[in-house]
Amino acid sequence: MTDIIYIIPDDYIDNRVEAFTFLQENSGMLGKRNENRTLYLFKVNSQGIVTPENQKIQQILNGLGTINLPIAIAIKKEELFTANELSSLFEGLDIQEYDDSDEETNN
């Protein structure tokens, strides 16, 4: 299960937020491969208050401060990122996944 969280100022306008909102509203089009992803969008007002109200997101924001907005967070639960997922986070980097079964076959 993967949660993708966007934290933005409440007056923030960007086509990437529009695309994210579109995916939230049309999650069925993500297909079976991506059905375990949950998308959350939180907005922050000028007083630093998060809406919709969420204590954990508010704590993250309190720690990071509002000058660092926008923030995108990907949380993967009960597993680690695959090599492909990790590679996609770094431009120009191709990480090869090591398969333990290859070692067993070669011995």
- Residue 28: which pLDDT band, with cuts at 50, 70 and 90? confident
- Please give the distance of CA 4 from its chain centroid, rounded to a whole number: 3
| Position 103 pLDDT exceeds 80 | no
Q: Is 71 buried (19+), middle (13-18) or exposed (0-12) by CB count in 10 A?
A: middle
Domain hosting 8: range is: 2-106
Q: In this structure, what CATH number is given to the domain that contains residue 36?
A: 3.40.30
Q: Which residue has the tokens 């998060």?
A: 50
pLDDT (tens digit, 9 = 90+) per residue, 41-86? 999 999 999 999 999 999 999 999 999 999 999 999 898 988 888 8
Residue 6: name the closest of 50, 43, 38 by CA.
43
Prediction pTM value: 0.79
Domain count, the chain: 1
What distance in Å separates the CA atoms of residue 66 and residue 69, rounded to the nearest whole number? Answer: 6
